Amino acid sequence: MLVTRPQLPAYDPIQLVGQVLSIDNGICTVQCDGANWHCARALSCLVEPQIGDEVLISGPDRDRVFLLAIIARPENTTVTLSVTGDMAIRSEAGAVSVHSARLTHIHSNQAVKLTAPNHEQENDSAIMKIGQMNYLGKKLDAVVGSTDFFSNVIGLMSDSFKSVARLCFRHVKEVDHVRAQTIDYEAEKLTRVHGGYTTLTAQEVMKINGDQIHMS
């Protein structure tokens, strides 16, 4: 019995090098040897074509021609990697490194999210401009040589607050209010309270005790 094999279609493959004349809605017009070819960018060609690029186009026939690669481009122009839809860069067993000789710019129209078990950042200097910031964590340790805070209003709320310093200087220009159930001040050597007008009052008992009491 004879077995008839299906005949394969006869292809007339196209593979040419030309120059991009125009780009309209993702379709590139490429001039090759005086003829214009209209082709879409292949999915594997991540470099976004520009007018004037020297490109490689290829396909099985005239009706199925794609822009496969950007071969050459005038110097001092930006190279853009672009895709339609979501894009993921993944290393299954290695590291991913991004390096720039000058500036590295990360921009998103909506949000930027970093997720990792550990995060380490090292800079000689840093400037952060944030409209509103919320921090939520279990513990924060900060070691700095000098810290300056400038704010219109600073609010602190805590169950327990502890401050230890060798020297402490506080200057309040107008009014300093302290409200507490119990206030306990103790000095090993000297305690001085001075004002243009000084008032000491007690609702029930006022006690002044000392080996010597001088009033003048």
pLDDT digits (tens, 9 = 90+) for 108-130: 999 999 999 999 999 999 999 99
DSSP-assigned letter for residue 33: T
Count Cβ atoms within 10 A of the Cβ of residue 128 and give its class: 0-12 exposed, 13-18 middle, 19 or more buried.
exposed
Q: Is residue 92 part of a domain?
A: no
Q: Is residue 115 part of a domain?
A: no
| Domain CATH number, residue 45 | 2.40.50.140
Q: Is residue 211 part of a domain?
A: no
Whether 19 contacts 53, CB under 8 Å: yes
Has residue 215 got a pLDDT over 90? no
- Position 149 scores a pLDDT of 87
Note down the domain range covering 37. 14-72
- Tokens (6 digits) for 210: 């000392």
Tell me the pTM. Answer: 0.64
Count: domains in the chain:
1
Q: Is residue 82 part of a domain?
A: no
Task: Please report which confidence band the pLDDT of residue 5 belongs to, taking 50, 70 and 90 as the band edges.
Answer: low
Whether 45 contacts 55, CB under 8 Å: no
Distance from C-alpha of 68 to C-alpha of 43, rounded to nearest angstrom: 8
Has residue 53 got a pLDDT over 90? yes
Q: Is residue 28 part of a domain?
A: yes
Has residue 164 got a pLDDT over 80? yes
Q: Is residue 163 part of a domain?
A: no
Beta strands in 100-157 (DSSP E): none
Mean pLDDT of the chain: 90
Q: Is residue 156 part of a domain?
A: no
Has residue 102 got a pLDDT over 60? yes
- Tokens (6 digits) for 204: 């029930």
Whether 36 contacts 30, CB under 8 Å: yes
- Position 74 scores a pLDDT of 81
Alpha-carbon 58 to chain mean position? 40
Has residue 10 got a pLDDT over 80? no
54 vs 77, which has greater pLDDT? 54
Q: Is residue 170 part of a domain?
A: no
Whether 88 contacts 63, CB under 8 Å: no
